[in-house]
């Protein structure tokens, strides 16, 4: 798994290039990157079913269900960053499908609601919850997921740690504090049930 997704510039397949541009990387994010991902999808429609990762990024619940039923693992790293499908789903900013149903399917099949990676090797990790909430120092180019609240609620109910330091940091750059209500409702400020 790369700790520097924003530095990945060579891609083995159009599907990998799509994922790299569809997902927030917290380094050079912009609407142009997402437009590029959409253009790649239009030019290569087979990307939509190329893997569990691309299906998750697009919110394609039927494809996710089909691939899981055929034995693909919900926690299998893949794509250009070596991310699990749930991370591609949470950090994706393209797709018109049903990301919440995709997340439900993935978590039900064993995806870790606390999946994440260490950006540039730094802590705290960028988790699926971090991806859902978006934000950051370049908040204008890192919008929340279009289903941020519903996706975060599902992740928290599945066991995501509400004490997500990166999500809290990333959201402090805007006046919207709706995420705090959700996090407090799920235990922000208290030890996580999965903590040692």
The whole-angstrom separation of Cα 184 and Cα 162 is 8
With respect to residue 88, please indicate whether it lies within any of the assigned structural domains.
Answer: yes
With respect to residue 193, please indicate whether it lies within any of the assigned structural domains.
Answer: no
For 101, the domain range is 5-185
With respect to residue 143, please indicate whether it lies within any of the assigned structural domains.
Answer: yes
Whole-angstrom CA distances from 64 to 40, 93, 108, 131, 160 are 20, 17, 12, 19, 21
With respect to residue 194, please indicate whether it lies within any of the assigned structural domains.
Answer: no
Q: In this predicted model, what pLDDT tens digit does every residue of 61-81 receive, in sequence order?
A: 999 999 999 999 999 999 999
Any idea what the CATH number is for the domain that residue 154 is in? Answer: 1.25.40.20
SS3 assignment, position 127:
strand
Q: Which residue in this structure is represented by tokens 């253009």?
A: 39
With respect to residue 145, please indicate whether it lies within any of the assigned structural domains.
Answer: yes
How much of the chain exceeds pLDDT 90, in percent?
93
Residue 169 pLDDT exceeds 90: yes
With respect to residue 77, please indicate whether it lies within any of the assigned structural domains.
Answer: yes
| CA of residue 63 relative to chain centroid, distance | 17
The whole-angstrom separation of Cα 180 and Cα 161 is 13
With respect to residue 121, please indicate whether it lies within any of the assigned structural domains.
Answer: yes
Average pLDDT over residues 103-116: 98
With respect to residue 192, please indicate whether it lies within any of the assigned structural domains.
Answer: no
Torsion angle, CA of 5/61/71/44, rounded to 10 degrees? -60
Number of structural domains (the chain) is: 1
Give the mean pLDDT of the chain.
Answer: 95
Under the banding of pLDDT at 50, 70 and 90, the label for residue 195 is very low
Residue 105 pLDDT exceeds 90: yes
At 75, list the tokens: 């926690």
């Amino acid at each position: 798994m790369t700790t520097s997704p924003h530095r990945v510039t060579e891609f083995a397949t159009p599907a990998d290039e799509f994922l790299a541009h569809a997902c927030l990387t917290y380094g050079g994010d912009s609407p142009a990157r997402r437009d590029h991902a959409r253009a790649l999808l239009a030019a290569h429609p087979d990307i939509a079913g190329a893997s569990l990762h691309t299906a998750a990024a697009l919110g394609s619940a039927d494809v996710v269900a089909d691939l899981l039923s055929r034995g693909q693992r919900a926690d299998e790293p893949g794509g250009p960053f070596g991310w699990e499908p749930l991370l591609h789903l949470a950090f994706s900013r393209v797709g018109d499908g049903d990301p919440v149903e995709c997340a439900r399917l993935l978590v039900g099949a064993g995806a870790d609601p606390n999946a994440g990676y260490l950006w540039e090797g730094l802590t705290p990790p960028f988790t699926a919850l971090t991806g859902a909430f978006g934000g950051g120092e370049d908040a204008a180019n890192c919008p929340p997921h279009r289903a941020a609240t519903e996706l975060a609620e599902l992740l928290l109910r599945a066991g995501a740690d509400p004490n997500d330091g990166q999500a809290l940091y990333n959201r402090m750059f805007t006046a919207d504090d709706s995420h705090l209500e959700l996090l407090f409702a799920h235990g922000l400020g208290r030890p996580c049930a999965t903590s040692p």
